[in-house]
Amino acid sequence: MNWKEENNRLKRNFEFKNFTEAFTFMTQVAFEAEKIKHHPEWTNVYNKVEITLTTHDTNNTITEKDRILSEKIDLIFKKFES
């Protein structure tokens, strides 16, 4: 599944083998987000992570920051696909 544009947000769901893998993914995303000073909204339940990206500084619209972070997240996720 790819990113879905919905209500001025980019959304994507990710599924992993277990909680540890999901949490490792989230940790790696957190480091990338911090580097570019753009942070996701997300939820995690066991092996599932749901991420929403929007830029609050621009009245909650999708900006280049969101697209850049979504691409970085996709690259991180590729490491977990089997």
Domain edges within the chain: 8-78
Which single residue is written with the structure tokens 């599944």?
A: 1
pLDDT at residue 24 in the model: 98
Whole-angstrom Cα distance, residue 28 to residue 26? 5
| CATH number listed for the domain at residues 8-78 | 3.30.1360.20
Cα angle: 4, vertex 39, 5; to 5 degrees: 10
Instruction: Please list, in sequence order, all residues whose beta carbon lies within 8 angstroms of the beta carbon of residue 15, skipping any fewer than 6 positions away.
Output: 47, 48, 49
Give this prediction's pTM: 0.92
For residue range 18-47, list pLDDT tens digits in order.
999 999 999 999 999 999 999 999 999 999
